Structure 1
């Protein structure tokens, strides 16, 4: 499958940003991996659907290696991401953790025939890119062995990076970017082939998929200012990516401000600032197959 997925997003083009996000999120998500893997039997099979650059599977592999081993199955529809994820996870897996890479798409109802029965299925930021989200959850639940756990990362608190006033353009630029992103998201969802409304929250959706012992919890992402070089690079990428996807909802003043803020040769370049931060939260929802 080419870099563009069924939602018309070029995920291969976002590889650098995904790598940076994985690094920045690792400290907050390592306890999530530990919590989920700690509930599993010996030498479990963990399947990461929509693995991206492999950040979460790296954390799963480390936990499996500490506990006697197991198998990590990487699934993604974008070959460039799958290759990067396999490289990253293989680098930490050690001899006791097997790493398997499979090209697959959650929107494919035949996914279950490609993936081994799992003790844990993880899917972060993936389900909302499928037209029928409830059907996608049933597909994910169908990958589980009896007693297995499905955990999804969906929702939470949108990441904030910028000061309210930047010295260029009008104050509140990030808030307007995020509002525009909400409009973009609604149009993206409506434009996916077979899009179906799901007018209820993720915990209920997991119960509708046949899971029990459903719970939700959060992981706080908190990198305070002044931040690292990696954080500054990530913020530049993030602001450019947001502007690229929602530019039509921004006015000329905001577009001009973003151009100045992302120009590495200009006086207002974000990468030169010492007042950037990263603050938000990931929401995790999980349940067990009866």
Structure 2
């Protein structure tokens, strides 16, 4: 086989197999995905949304793909999601989500915004300011919460509270994975200006434990998350759906627990993660809180 033929075969294979599965699934997330707390009739729609998000996330996080190839695949998923012609069964996760969005009346922006975030991931490897990171989270995380609210027919006035919660979840995930992101993708979500002010640099993430400068920067980011939690805790009361309020309250509890774990843990030394006990405790406390909070209105 000639080199030219090999390249053509590789190109054909890429076209036929746009996905690059990482093996990650709902069980690897910090929060329940489509749990029994949500109405049974809506769970298939949540599953379709998650499957689409997982597929494009895996493309963006694949270290074997060049940035241009990531962008090509991601934009193809977006085109398929929007119903543009020329995208076959290899884009079934996009087609499935499009059908779901049409059935439920949820805007396609909830999927396209995620694509935009992952396209940004392909080319933007550093975040100098807190506002830059919040802007990224507005595309990569907040659409997830808004999707769930839209799916349940909630008032858009609750977006403010779901945005806060989703942003917190995204940032604590960045802190959990800061070593792997730097090592595998040279991607750093640690606030660059803050790290420099504290006397550190991106190279601090190459160590096997956090430097004092990195620790102080992480604490500043966690303080920002705690400020956002003020609004996040109002979410269950802002929701009409008791089931969604219960699910949201559980996630708020999990977010608070993750912040506490990251305050005391070192994500470079070992994985800082929720335990089964954390999930059980948050599940019980959150479900009770959400049950009684639903419909009371954010205050």
Tell me: higher relative CO, structure 1 or 2? Use CA pairs within 8 A at least 6 residues apart: 1
TM-score (structure 2 length as normaliser): 0.31
TM-score (structure 1 length as normaliser): 0.32
Higher strand share: 1
Higher helix share: 2
